[in-house]
Chains A and B, each alone.
Chain A
Amino acid sequence: MKVLVAKPGLDGHDRGAKVVAQALRDAGVEVVYTGLKRTPEEIVSEAIQEDVDVVGLSVLSGAHVPLARRVLEGLRARGADDVRVVVGGIVPPADVDALRAIGVARVFPMGTPLPDIVKAFQGGELA
């Protein structure tokens, strides 16, 4: 499995993204991390170019719904709707449902234990 870990938008908090990236790498997942302040359009291009299975978006500013929507729309527009999108960050419970409704495959809100995140990538549900 290959995963793009991406930080869309303006938020500069990358601890979570880098921790998850390291945990997935240690679990044998191929991980690409592209750094801060990527636009949704850049993330879509990087996902297609790197031919990843999953895009993991990390957002702590609260702008997760519009950012995830733009990534999903971008993937669809470029015929890459087989790429699954997951979101982690400060996502309040009500927004978990909103993200699932627009097509996000899994949401890892704040407080999700690290092993649970790794398991989701290993368990086949994202494969």
Chain B
Amino acid sequence: MRDVILHAGIPVKPVYGPEDLAGRDVERDLGRPGEYPFTRGIHPGMYRDRLWTMRQYIGFGTPAETNARFKYLMAHGQDALNVAFDLPTQLGLDSDDPRAEGEVGRVGMAIDTLADMEEAFAGIPLDRVSVSLTINGMAAPITAMYYAVAERQGAARDRVVTTPQNDILKEFIARGTWIYPVEPSLRLVGDLIAYSARRYPRSNPVSVCGYHIREAGCTTAQEMAYGLAIAAAYIEMMVARGMDVDDFAPRVSFNFTCWGKIFEEVAKFRAGRRLYARMLRERFGARNPRSWMFRTLIGGGGSAFTVQEPENNIVRGAYIALAAALSGAQTMALPTYDEAYTIPSAKAQLIALRTMQICAEESGAADTVDPLGGSYFVEALTNEMEARILEELAAVERMGGIVEAVRTGAVQAEVARQAYRFELQVASGAIPKVAVNCHAGDRPAEADREVVLHGFDPAVAATQLAKLARVRRERDGTAVDAALGRLRDEARGPGNLMEPLVEAVKTYATLGEICQAMKDVFGEHKEPVKF
């Protein structure tokens, strides 16, 4: 009989039975759906009351092009947005910065000033559509722009639902869009959380991500452990800043990936909900049940998709959607089948949206709460996953805690080690990938030349540069200088930077100018390179 070992290192037995749950207090471990510790889901009726939100990740080219794609998907039933920004925007560089050459509008839309943000959301009512902003190092100024657009649209503050990712610790570990050193970066995360909790009570000012760390190579148990450790670090920071945990914890949200083995994923999320609820109630003393809830986007993992025979990725996406539904996702997004090649085509994005809709409406996965609950296998695996996550949390403590582990690069090195281990297992065939290392003939197929690539229009950069030049020309330069001066001054002190940021974006100061003003005070992060 062949051995089966999950990504978390857990061996799977050929059959499970009541003996695998012996000695467990099932009532204590599970509770009822919608009740502590939320193992079975955070709402009593889950999808019978409300389906998960469908939120594809979109953005490319100019704000006007992205606005058109937003509207296309909304016309086909997508009910929320998830905005992709280009790399210069994510790193606080203007489109006319020499370092931005070749990158403007490439992996997301370009934002230089409030004028771009106004164009991106033109005709999209921000008091009715919830919008995730995939932005981290520049989360504070970009969200300041978003709030300014909502205000100009006349949206009531308590109707504005936005989720800036604002998770800088995972950027240091995995995604790389860090700018400032660790301490001032954390301060900006906290400033946005504190400001939003006060002014925009329905915003979710941080989305803690295990997603990118797993995509960078770590295991399922590590993904959940690192996510929980990062969440704990932010919560500790906000409490240390004088906030009551129940004043912000109900709006903390998560972003995790999902791919590979379905039952391992389900167990990961069930264990994660339980651990988070216990952490919030027992360690942080939260009293509001909403503070105990692990609310998560489950975004299918692009790393599960293959270049070879790309249409097979549509099938993989369907299994991922099923796993995410069985895991109790609040929000779902899927990679597109062409993602290993290009910025998704409109057709590929529609197929991904349709995949989620078919899962929701036709498959029956949404018919009853936690349909796998009570399965000997899934309950035993949930318990085992909980134990592995606790082991990984202890490993983080041995590295000095997650902030120190990020500062020294220890956690980055562990993620790289796991990525290499995984690739060796793919190379050896121990981890099967259909049409790559099994059922592939002598060797895997070459890339498919039929996939239609996103046409990068050289006019995009020119259009964006012309617009930026016009905004610079037409704005009140004195007001810009005064606002940037105030931002610099406030950055030297301990105060919350959101007010000066909101003021600065309203003068049409550029993102590059704002980023630089803070760089003048904070300096830049130096990466601890270890591998």
Interface residue ranges, A against B (CB under 8 Å):
9-15, 18-19, 21-23, 33-37, 39, 61-63, 66-67, 90, 92-94, 109-111, 113-115
Chain B residues lying within 8 Å of A110, measured Cβ to Cβ, are: 307, 340-341, 447
Q: What chain B residues lie within 8 Å of A62 (beta carbons)?
A: 106-107, 456
The reply to whether A9 and B102 contact each other, CB–CB distance below 8 Å, is yes
Q: Which of A34, A36, A63 contacts B106 (CB 8 A)?
A: A63
Identify which of B237-245, B376-384, B396-404, B417-425 touches chain A: B417-425
Contact A19 B341 (CB under 8 A): no
Known A61-B87, A115-B427; contact A36-B419, beta-carbon cutoff 8 A: no
Q: In the assembled complex, which residues on chain A have CB atoms less than 8 Å from the CB atom of B100? A: 10
Tell me whether chain A's interface is mostly helix, strand or loop, or mixed: loop
Write the B118-159 contact mask toward A (1 if CB under 8 angstroms, else 0).
000000000000000000000000000000000000000000
Asked if B486 is at the interface of the complex by the 8 Å CB criterion, the answer is no
Instruction: Number of B interface residues at 8 Å Cβ cutoff, please give it.
Output: 45
Contact indicator per residue, chain B 86-113, by CB within 8 Å of chain A (1) or not (0): 0110110100000111110011000000
Interface centre among B87, B88, B93, B215 (most CB of A within 10 A): B87
Q: How far is the CA of A42 from the CA of B494 in the complex (A)?
A: 36
Contact of B340 among A9, A90, A93 (CB under 8 A): A90
Who on chain B is nearest to A14 by CB? B176
B308 at the interface (CB under 8 A from A): yes
> Shortest beta-carbon distance, B440 to chain A, in Å?
10
In the bound complex, what is the Cα–Cα distance between A66 and B177 (angstroms)? 21
Contact A19 B419 (CB under 8 A): yes
Determine the chain A residues whose CB is within 8 A of the CB of B217 once the complex forms. Answer: 15, 18-19
Q: In this assembly, does B336 line the interface, its C-beta being within 8 Å of a C-beta of chain A?
A: no
Which residues on the B side are within 8 Å of A15 (C-beta)?
215-217, 416, 419
**Cβ-defined partner of A22 (8 Å) among B88, B91, B93, B416:** B416
- Other CB < 8 Å A-B pairs besides A111-B340, A113-B437, A113-B444, 5 of them? A9-B103, A10-B93, A66-B101, A92-B453, A110-B340
Q: Check B420–A22 contact: CB distance below 8 A.
A: yes
Q: Are A23 and B423 also in contact (CB < 8 A) when A92-B453, A109-B447 are?
A: yes
B447→A18 contact, CB < 8 A: no
Q: Knowing A15-B216, A37-B176, A110-B307 are in contact, say whether A22-B531 is a contact too (CB < 8 A).
A: yes
Give the Cβ gap from A62 to chain B, nearest Cβ, in Å: 5
Q: CB within 8 Å of A: which residues of B?
A: 87-88, 90-91, 93, 99-103, 106-107, 171, 175-177, 215-217, 306-308, 340-342, 416-417, 419-420, 423-424, 426-427, 436-437, 443-444, 446-447, 449, 453, 456, 527, 529, 531
| Residues in A whose Cβ lies below 8 Å from that of B417 | 22
Contact A36 B102 (CB under 8 A): no
B177–A114 CB distance below 8 A: no
Closest Cβ–Cβ distance, residue A113 to chain B (whole Å): 6
Q: Evaluate contact between A63 and B427: CB separation under 8 angstroms.
A: no
B341 and A90 form a contact (CB under 8 A): yes
Contact between chains at B427 and A114 (CB < 8 Å): yes
Contacts of A90 in B (CB 8 A): 340-341
**B176 lies within 8 A of A12 (CB):** yes
With CB as the reference atom, state the residue of chain B lying closest to A69: B102
Closest approach, in angstroms, between the C-beta of A102 and any C-beta of chain B?
A: 14
User: How far apart sit A14 and B412, CA to CA, in the bound complex (Å)?
Assistant: 10
> B531 touching A21 by the CB < 8 A rule?
yes
Which residues of B have CB within 8 Å of A34?
529
Instruction: Knowing A93-B447, A111-B308 are in contact, say whether A13-B175 is a contact too (CB < 8 A).
Output: yes
Find chain B residues with CB under 8 A from A35 CB: 527, 529
Pairs across A and B, CB under 8 Å, 23 listed: A10-B103, A11-B107, A13-B175, A13-B176, A14-B176, A14-B216, A18-B419, A19-B416, A19-B419, A19-B420, A19-B423, A33-B529, A37-B91, A63-B102, A66-B101, A66-B102, A67-B102, A93-B447, A110-B340, A111-B307, A111-B308, A111-B436, A113-B443
**Shortest CB–CB separation between residue B284 and chain A, in angstroms?**
31
Determine if B88 and A111 form an interchain contact, defined as CB atoms under 8 angstroms apart: no
Q: Residue of A at shortest CB range from B100?
A: A10
Query: In the complex, what's the smallest C-beta–C-beta distance from B29 to chain A, in angstroms?
Result: 35
Complex CA–CA separation, A109 to B342 (angstroms): 13
Contacts of B456 in A (CB 8 A): 62
CB-contact partner of A11 in B87, B216, B416, under 8 A: B87
Check B416–A18 contact: CB distance below 8 A.
yes
User: B341 CB to closest chain A CB, in angstroms?
Assistant: 6
Interchain nearest-CB distance for A111 vs B (Å): 3
